Structure 1
């Protein structure tokens, strides 16, 4: 297998993902191969650190990333997890070209396909279909964050936990209790009680 064939194989999961949204022609598939770059992040390695400019849009091929904020007391507040076939980026920093207030790191060894800001703008120009695709991705991200905000201000911890299980079905057994609790805004001890109550229900 030559280098081009290897790259095609690495990028194929993303091409398959795009194909589910809108069919791609041969030249559009080649643009994906040319502009998205595979990168492996080891466990605990940063993809993005606060105060840095977010320059990459990340598609997770395998593994798991988390995006979070550390407050003034050193507490972690998890905004999002991203596992296989999920996207993750600080959209405000990426599109606004402003320093990020968030961190993204690898919870597991994680393979991603990345596109830089400049290459994404080039992609829009060369194949306008991707403007439609990424508009859908951003809209879905906004809807997801809006739902999460509403849950945080109007739902019980038990309801938030049920929503987490529905959204992150594949991650429930991969994430430690401390990270799930941080995502839900509760203590690990309270999460343990919720889990026991759910098992015994």
Structure 2
């Protein structure tokens, strides 16, 4: 039970589970440990599991036809990781999910999630709320990418996710921001001069 506590705590911040409901949930989930560099999901494979990060860090990215990597998300402790489109539709994934650090996840399959929702109806509300939050965050990111300068996007990233920047190579942050690592380096130098 203890190894699932981070997920139970996260859920209980949104909907309150009874002890009996927590026991049912624990019976439907498992933990998985991955090494740095290991893939949780590869582009083109069907996403069989949704993962909740207990420790470590992952990056979600896609590789275009020219072999260029485009980072769309980082996931650290108390974040979710998967390719939601692939997971829900059980179709080939558009994204890769790779560990940037040794990572421990709590995972469950689409079928297990359906069983959770059947056995613990209040989890419908939980998943609706977190998906709504993710959708809003995604829309806001699109607006930021369309309307903010690269410098302002970087400042937002640094302020919004201060603990992540220290854990992630700069070229990946640049990819996430949609700029080159050289341009990110130039922005950081400019910010130092402005201080």
Q: TM-score, normalised by structure 2?
A: 0.96
Give the ranges of 4+ consecutive aligned residues of structure 1 lying more than 3 Å apart after TM superposition.
Answer: none
Unaligned runs of 5+ in 1: 1-7
Tell me the CA shift for residue 79 of structure 1.
0.6
Deviations 1:49-75 (A, max 9, x none): 111111111100000001001011111
Counterpart of 1:81 in structure 2 is: 74
**Aligned counterpart in structure 2 of residue 165 of structure 1, from 150, 153, 158:** 158
State how far apart, in whole Å, the 2-side matches of 1:57 and 1:21 are.
18
State how far apart, in whole Å, the 1-side matches of 2:100 and 2:112 are.
27
Tell me the CA shift for residue 165 of structure 1.
1.4
8 Å CA contact retained: 1:11, 1:32:
no
State how far apart, in whole Å, the 2-side matches of 1:53 and 1:110 are.
21
Counterpart of 2:36 in structure 1 is: 43
Mapping for residues 182-197 of structure 1, pairs under 5 Å: 182-197=175-190
Q: TM-score, normalised by structure 1?
A: 0.93
8 Å CA contact retained: 1:47, 1:106:
yes
Q: Report the aligned-residue RMSD.
A: 1.0
**Aligned counterpart in structure 1 of residue 105 of structure 2, from 112, 116, 119:** 112
Counterpart of 1:14 in structure 2 is: 7
Unaligned runs of 5+ in 2: none
State how far apart, in whole Å, the 1-side matches of 2:25 and 2:59 are.
25
